[in-house]
Amino acid sequence: MTTEIKEKEPLREELERLEAALDTPSVPGEMSGWASMVRKSFDEASRVVLNQIESVHPGQLGEIDGQDAELMARTKQLREEDRRHQEWCRRLSAAFAEFEAKAARAGADEKQVTEPQQALLEDGLRFVTHVRKQEAAIRSWLQEAFERDTGTGD
């Protein structure tokens, strides 16, 4: 019998939770509760994303730079993408909070928040995809930095 030990990956787990929250349909008459649930899920995912950007990525990108100076242009792009993600977190945080307030004000007249809800859902899912793509890119370039043949001999 083989026991598989799964390493805890807080970023992946929070992104999955956020994605599940965004994919959860709102029940008629419960828009305010749904908006609150989604905002809380985003806030937690955002906290983990920002922690990853501020605490983990600098070491990873520094390691890439240290292993292969020729990859500095790539790490510059990755750092710029991190800055965009930080701004996206701030913008989405405000948007989710604003939507939660609008949903509460709308009460039973949920039709007035249907379009903003759809736009926020799409932006939130796009955010999840971009963060995953950034994580994959950093892992790939980190691996590339260690495996790259620089032509300095055998």
**What is the average pLDDT across 124-132?**
98
Residue with tokens 């787990």: 13
**What is the average pLDDT across 15-19?**
97
Whose CA is closest to 129, among 23, 34, 16?
16
With a cut of 50, say whether residue 154 has pLDDT above it. Answer: no
Looking at residue 107, its pLDDT comes to 85
| Angle between helices 114-147 and 72-106 in degrees, nearest 10 | 160
Whose CA is closest to 51, among 135, 124, 120, 137?
135
Q: What is the pLDDT of residues 104-125, one digit of tens each?
A: 999 888 898 999 999 999 999 9
